[in-house]
Amino acid sequence: MQIKQYKHLGLAAVTGICLLSLALPLFYRNWGSGQLSRQGTLRPETPGMLSDAAQEHQLIYALYRNRFAVQTALELPGDAQQIKEELQTKTESLADAGALPDLVARRARWILEQPAQETACKSENGFAGATYLIKQEEAPGSCWISACWQENTGVVVSYSVTEDAAVQNLEHYLEAYRNYLGVEELTDWQAGTRKREAWAWSQAGQLSLFCCRQGSGFLLGAVSQAEPRADWLEA
Amino acid sequence: MKFAHKLTRAIVLPLCVALSAGGTWSIHRNFQVALDTAARTNSADQMEQRYALENDLAAVQGDSANQIYTLLCTYEQEQRTLGRGERTFAVFGENGTVLYSNLSGTILYREQQRALAAGEDRVLYVNTETADYQLLSTPLRGLSRPLWLLNVYDISAQFAERDRQVRQHLFLEAVALLLAGTAAVLVARLLTRPLKRLETVSTALSQGETSVRAELHSGDELEHLGQTFNHMADSLDRQMQALREESARQKRFVAAFTHELKTTMTAMLGYADLLRKGEQSPEKQHKAAGYIYQESGRLESLSRELLLLLGLEQGGVALEPVRLSAVWGDVIRSLPDLASRLVTAGEEKTLRANRALLVTLLRNLVLNAAAADTEQGTIRLWCAKRAGTLCLGVSDTGPGIPAEELERLREPFYRLDKSRSRQNGGNGLGLTICEAIARAHGTTLQMESEPGKGTVVWITAEEAEPCR
């Protein structure tokens, strides 16, 4: 008799629990809101975010940040002497680091010794840029030197100069440029060469470096990119 | 509780739990996805603002609170000009000092500090009476002093959508349970209908109505159960019929046995009384004493035969290979007065039988044949194959037995000619014993008779390997 009573009680309890469970969504609604207010949630990963370690590197983070910044400033004519001196400094620092071939460095020095036909400069988002252009008398067209650097460190992130010489062994200069930038601590570099170009890309730093001959110019550069350029991978 | 109610509960209650748990999980997943999507979108927006502010703040000369405030005001003005005036954010300095804020008063300072303390890896939520907010904080890097950016995003739409899903789920839950409950009740009734029919039939059976049967055509285990139940009822009916017949047979036996005793005892009492008076002639006295002696012997013979019959009905007769010639020899030797009338016919065979009982059976049949045939005709003991089966029997050329009497002859104490049979010393148990012996050998007594031509009585026999 007692067992039967217990069975009835048990059955009534199970029935009650099952019927109460119908209100589970309401309970979840109230409990879930309270839980969110108290503890919050983990922030989901945002695709394309720079790793914490890379954010600590001033240059890498500045380049990365610059990727999202609005570029509104224009190059405007500047003081030729000041631009010449600035570009001479940058040329020498690159040459000292071994990032410029001798022929290119000599050509750059020669250009800077010529009277400027036109100069321009700009400053935006922590980076400054300058261009020094001369008119060649013996040949049609003009020659120039252009560079962009981080204002507070002076590190050159882009450098181009007019040079017809067939520079070989571009990967050697790219390696020297990487050391010059101080980003060799990134360990996941992918590197490659093409006919007139050497490149390297790091996923951790979302950073691309390149050294190439383009037309009659020699180019060095560092750019923040989420992925390496497609034509690099095709090669 | 009725079985149908149990069945209904067994269907509806788990459905309650499943619907509710499944729905809650689904709402939770949808809400989580919505919050994560909002957090991703808002994170991307916050990062865009953070990079812009970092660039702007890095370019400013000096880092006093006023300078920062001025720059941020300018920044917000530019954003408004660019049509991005919806951002609500605050910039904090060391120790949570507010350097700039365009947050509304609904987000308390305490909540803002909590969001800063949670760090940039967590997302905090604030629910107010009017709206729900997502709070994201992140440090501004590359500056001369540590600053934190706190963004507040209105995500009331996500919460409203969750609440809508909860309401919708509750409605669907109610509809589904109503439908499922109705279906469960109908199914339970359908499933328990055969059981109710079985209950009705078993009640009728228990009240003695053995003819009722459960007619179930559900095509499942219950139909099989109904068939088994009907078989049980059939078997019960047969057993009750057999019991009734056995009871009637026993009543007839007792009545016949009582009559047999009474008839004999009445006669014996009469003769005994005659002797007691002592005035009779020596011849009469001798006749009376002789009758008493003869009837006493018959009663003694009757008791022996009754014992034999009881023993046979209890079973346990041992069968063994027995030569037919030996059996016939025993029968002939036990009846020296009839030896001249007995003829045997048939090949020598070895049978599987109990020799003594088989001899008793044949001897009784021979005695019956001799008693029936007053013309002193030949009595044949024969053995032959009939329709491939070995048969063993006794034939006489007597007056035969009417067909309507044949079956009753097996009943105890039944006699065709009662007075003459008793005079011959018969007690009416001969054929009953023969039938019992035949059953003990796994067969029955067969009788064929034609009035005026004689009677043939036989049993089938099992042939055995010859004895060594």
Q: How far is CA A156 from the centre of its chain?
A: 13
A62 touches chain B (CB under 8 A): yes
Instruction: Look at residue B388 in the predicted model and tell me its pLDDT.
Output: 84
CA B437, B439, B443, B444 torsion-angle sign: positive
Residue A82 contacts B, CB cutoff 8 Å: no
- From the list A82, A227, A70, A58, the residue with the least C-alpha distance to A157 is A58
- Give Dmax (Cα) for chain A: 120
Task: Render pLDDT for B356-395 as a digit per residue (tens, 0 to 9).
Answer: 889 889 998 998 888 888 888 899 999 998 888 899 999 9
- Helix (H) or strand (E) holding A17, with range, is helix A2-20
Q: Which residues of A touch B136 (CB under 8 A)?
A: 43
Identify all chain A residues contacting B141, using CB atoms and an 8 Å cutoff.
Answer: 55, 61
Inter-chain residue contact A37 with B127, CB threshold 8 Å: yes
The residues pairing with A129 across neighbouring beta strands, listed in sequence order, are A122, A148
Contact B13 A36 (CB under 8 A): no
What's residue B85's pLDDT? 64
Largest CA distance in chain B: 174
Tokens of A128: 């400054």
pLDDT band at A141 (very low <50, low <70, confident <90, very high): confident
Say if residues A160 and A220 touch (Cβ distance below 8 Å): yes
- Whether the pLDDT of residue B128 is over 80: the answer is yes
Contact A46 B136 (CB under 8 A): no
Q: Under a CB-based contact definition with an 8 Å cutoff, are residues A207 and A225 in contact?
A: yes
CA distance A117 to A133: 6
Whether residue A180 has pLDDT greater than 80: yes
Which residue among A21, A43, A69 places its CB closest to the CB of B122? A43
Which pLDDT does position B197 carry in this prediction? 87
Compute the distance between CA of residue B303 and CA of residue B300 in angstroms, rounded to an integer.
5
Instruction: Specify the pairing of strand B379-386 against strand B389-395.
Output: antiparallel
User: What is the SS3 assignment for A99?
Assistant: coil
In terms of Cα–Cα distance, which of B208, B206, B459 is closest to B353?
Answer: B459
Amino acid at the residue A64: Y
Residue B149 scores a pLDDT above 90:
yes
Tokens found for residue B44: 């991307």
Residue B61: what pLDDT?
63
pLDDT in tens, B198-237: 889 889 988 888 888 888 887 888 888 889 989 998 998 8
Q: What is the pLDDT of residues B384-436, one digit of tens each?
A: 988 888 999 999 998 888 888 887 777 777 776 655 555 555 667 788 888 88
Q: What is the pLDDT of residue B11?
A: 85
Q: What is the pTM of this model?
A: 0.61
Task: Return the pLDDT at B124.
Answer: 95
- pLDDT category of residue A105 using cuts at 50, 70 and 90: very high
Q: Indicate the DSSP class of residue B4.
A: H
The answer to whether A58 contacts chain B (CB < 8 Å) is: yes
Interface touch B166/A43, C-beta < 8 Å: no
A66 touches chain B (CB under 8 A): yes
Angle among Cα A208, A213, A216 to the nearest 5 degrees reads 140
Rounded CA separation B292/B286 (Å) = 10
Nearest to B43 among A32, A40, A43 (CB): A43
Q: Does A93 touch chain B (CB under 8 A)?
A: no
Contact call for residues B132 and B125 (beta carbons, < 8 A): yes
How much of chain B exceeds pLDDT 70, in percent?
96
User: Which residues does chain B have within 8 Å of residue A36's beta carbon, measured at their own beta carbons?
Assistant: 35, 125, 127
